[in-house]
Structure 1
Amino acid sequence: MNPVLGVCGCICSECDLFNNDCKGCHAVEGVACWLHDVGLDVCDFYACCKKDKHLQHCGECQEIPCSKFWANKNPEWTKEEHQQIVQDRVDLLRGLINEG
């Protein structure tokens, strides 16, 4: 099975909530079940990428990684872990551009 990716490069299909409470950001149009935990109505990545810029994913954006990537840090991650996760997501999304 191919992984289901969010616009931000998160692998939705690896999340514990996938297939139970969520089908991935594309399927739910950015209205993920966890948004109430962070005080949002729509994922800020999805709103910017899909609604504002009309892109398929953040890898198509010239600003990647933007401030959203750095602001959305899990408090359990170290700075180094977060930097690596952002880099991995950016690389994954840019790879989609190179495949297409």
Structure 2
Amino acid sequence: MRENISVCGTDCSVCYCFGKMCNGCNSCEGKVFHAPEGKVCPIYDCVRNSKCMQNCGECGDVPCKIWFDTRDPKFSDEEFSENVIMRVQTLKKE
């Protein structure tokens, strides 16, 4: 999997924070800047630490409740649905 594609299928390189305040969840092992200090992103924690998988694409439950619980509040319902579809498609390509 490409380093800039996170375990949840997000392309970190398109984020304005990438390379500035964040190097992506793969390089920081899920301890991204927007997570509470010292805490691992719940999606990263589940797939890498609990299930010992490389990414959510290997899991039969994708997208799961954790994805919906960690929804970015800036997205409308429609934007979030599109984002989930895009991330799943990215994971299938990888």
Indicate the residue corresponding to 1:78 in structure 2: 76
TM-score normalized with structure 2 length: 0.87
Distance 1:84-1:40 versus aligned 2 partners, 3 A rule: farther
Residue 88 (structure 1) aligned with residue 90 (structure 2): no
In the alignment, the residues of structure 2 paired with residue 40 and residue 83 of structure 1 have an alpha-carbon distance, to the nearest angstrom, of 29
Whether the 8 Å CA contact 1:3–1:13 is kept in 2: the answer is: no
Indicate the residue corresponding to 1:60 in structure 2: 58
Indicate the residue corresponding to 2:14 in structure 1: 14
Segments of structure 1 that go 5 or more residues without pairing to the other structure are: none
Amino-acid identity (%): 33
Q: In terms of Rg, which structure is larger?
A: 1
Query: Deviation per CA, 1:66-89, whole angstroms, max 9, x where unpaired?
Result: 012222222232211111110110
In the alignment, the residues of structure 2 paired with residue 55 and residue 22 of structure 1 have an alpha-carbon distance, to the nearest angstrom, of 23
**Bigger CA drift: 75-84 or 42-51?**
75-84
Query: Deviation per CA, 1:31-50, whole angstroms, max 9, x where unpaired?
Result: 111113xx771110110011
Runs of 4+ in 1 over 3 A off after TM superposition: none
In the alignment, the residues of structure 1 paired with residue 26 and residue 60 of structure 2 have an alpha-carbon distance, to the nearest angstrom, of 21
Distance 1:19-1:59 versus aligned 2 partners, 3 A rule: same
TM-score normalized with structure 1 length: 0.83
SS of the residue corresponding to residue 74 of structure 1 reads: coil
Offset at 1:51? Answer: 0.6
In the alignment, the residues of structure 1 paired with residue 53 and residue 62 of structure 2 have an alpha-carbon distance, to the nearest angstrom, of 12
How many residues are matched? 93
Indicate the residue corresponding to 1:44 in structure 2: 42
In the alignment, the residues of structure 2 paired with residue 89 and residue 3 of structure 1 have an alpha-carbon distance, to the nearest angstrom, of 15
The CA RMSD over aligned residues, in Å, is: 1.8
